[in-house]
Structure 1
Amino acid sequence: MRPRLRQLFVIGLALSLLGIGVPAWSEDDPRSCNDLMAGDTPAYVVCRWMATPDEALDIARFWLANDGENLEAAGPLDSIGVDCGDAGNVCDPTPPDGVGDGQAHDGGDPDVEGAEDGGTPECKAGEECSVPPAGLSAEQISQAEESTTGKAVKSAVAAGLRVWVDAELADDWKAGKLAEGAKQVAALAAQPGVVGVRFTRQLGDGQLFRSADEMDTFVNEASAELRKLAPGRKLAAHTMVPLFGCGADDACKTAITQKYPLLDPERIGAWLAKGKIDQLALDSGHLATEYTTWKIDAATAQRNQWIQVRARAWDAYAQISVEDAALAAPGAPQLTGEQATKAITEHVASPLQDDAAETVTLWSRYENGQGQVSRAYGEKWAANTTWDQLKKLTSVRPRLATVYDPAKPEVDAATDLKALSEVFGQVYLYAA
């Protein structure tokens, strides 16, 4: 059935590009959302609901009902294998020349002569067995490993989490100390299990940069420095694009452009197209209140945003993520099961279902300027309905991430990160 549906979709897309009308995508179609797009949107960009908000809520209820009974019953598909005993099947245990030795090995066995601990070569006296990245010394990497964040990296990796080092290099750049700050971050990123570095947060939302050109210079220089110091690691940035929430409302677009002059979609898109960053996280904190003047609610603003992201094909250049703190509440969430399901549908399922955000980063704990702690779980990991509902999202766990500050643990880093791994597949660790 799926290949058939995919063929129909491709045929429909081809017809739309050729200017041939397709009734199912007309303005009268109840699933059409073309009215949310700007008037200057190209004709080949078509918006159609995969599932309406009501349908999305029903879907979430179905999978979360009875403690996720339906989700567990679904299970993985049977794996595809070859029975070597069947007539006509040939299973040759001998690999091609030069590839392996044709023997089965247990995990942790040496993979080269003289290797130990699963493949680490045994060093000879006076021989340098590993070479640190260019610009970093072995001492810098060692010091980073023993820092609070460095130790948290080890705990996160042990818990099965993919790790990002989360830092803010904009202040270092402004102070003329970018190289020094980048080395500290890169030393943390050199540890096994770290997949990337997020080098800035809330980019362009504030008074740090005087102009868009200055912000461009920071992104270009920070990216270049980290590409050199942390080869093989992905680079990420966190910002927002308020203009996207306006949809087709011209008055909204004019006002928002004046309010956020640095957050130009074309400029941000250029960072992706030029390979300056590999992941872009779009904050959703402004969606609920920014557009009330124009009677645009949070759900509509969110839909408008993802329509614009898809129309620009940003996901062709980088991974797009949404960042959201709405599930965390002062002390702990006090939602009922029904309320938690609705909140998860709006803040987790909808962005993924809109097929623009590939990952969702949820703030599970943060502290405001007055020292008040907000959590998405119970204090000291006490039982909590919202957290229990999040635990059921096992099928999308690799797409869920959170932010964690090792300097402000709930209990301790090892305990916290183990608990976080029950919901999230990735974690952004604050670099002290």
Structure 2
Amino acid sequence: MNFLNEVAHRFPDAISFAPGRPHEKFYDTQQLTSYLDAYVRYLSQERGFSEGQIRTQLFQYGRTNGNIHGLISRMLEKDEGIKAVPESIVVTVGCQEGMFITLRALFAKPTDVLLVGMPCYIGITGAAKLLDIEVVPVAEREDGLDLGELERTLEALRAEGKRPRALYLVADFANPSGRSLPEPARKRLLEIAARAEMLIIEDNPYGFFFREGPRKPTLKSMDDKEQVIYLGSFSKSAFPGLRVGYAVADQRVLGPAGDQHLLAEEFSKIKSMLSVNTSSICQAIIGGMLVMNDCSLLEANHEPIRFYKENMDATLQALERHFPRSEAWARGVTWNVPDGGFFLVVKLPIEADEALLEQSARHYQVIWTPMRYFYLGTGGEYELRLSCSYLTPEKIEEGVSRLARLIKSELEQQHARALKAG
């Protein structure tokens, strides 16, 4: 990521398909005061808070598990069909803290193993590395996680005396691949996890941004055995500058005295030592946004959903135009067609390494992400990720055109070298 930032800094005029950030056209600084005012009214009129209590809520250290857990509970039921009591929700400093807390709470023994879909978002593998947790990859297919390989991996781990403690998965429009798990496979995955006594960590930052409907149910909404820990983020559905996420941890655990309590309480203990609490002001802005939209961010994101759909369509159409099947040089270039989200993967007949990226940025003024960054060990050497969220359709068209010129030039040079060598 440092390399990508450095490339972007050196070539500021390049069209960049690298950042997976939301578009800023939907932001207005006036929204901040509107959301804060709405939250203050909510505290006063619905919660019955006095002026002094409101000041304390906004300006002081807050409850470790968060202040807006009740509003998030209502949002989850309305938007995702997830019934989570407020006490099971921990409001985190972005989803990244939620990942770290989840791993720290679940993994206690050296034999505990984290399984991840591969390729994988580097935030979870980075957190596992910091905590010295063994990570075992399970390959993705074009239709999401390979459940046959998952079952074989679980059997092999048990034979080695290891415990598959949890599987991390982005079931909807994954970063980096853009792939989604079909609904029948989601049911099968829950059955596999139940037999293996393994938890699922479901991360869902992109679920709103479907390109082709209907939306698939989240694993958590299908979970009737408390197998799924659900991680959410407001970075895409609101804006990333707030750094507010949440974890739903409604599993029952036994205390030292044999008493039962929610796993969220264990999360709270860890969070209290990690970040004390999530910013009360940032929570208030999210709270106001929820209040103003009757606790439905799905409806509030109607325009962004349409925009990201059009951007993904524009990217796929541009790839078809600039890598025509009628041209021999382009036939070795393929890509997946995601149902939504921000990302897709392009496969090349040449290595998509840092040297090619440097060439791309310097001479063609277009930046992308090598997929090898998202693999453990080897993998992704001939693939690149395109993110279409932060660009306009016009920039997407020009950027794909530049990418095609780069690939065509490299293939022609490769062919010329082969002829000379032969």
Same fold (TM over 0.5): no
* TM-score, structure 1 normalization: 0.26
| Higher share of residues assigned helix | 2
Structure having greater relative contact order (Cα 8 Å, sep ≥ 6): 2
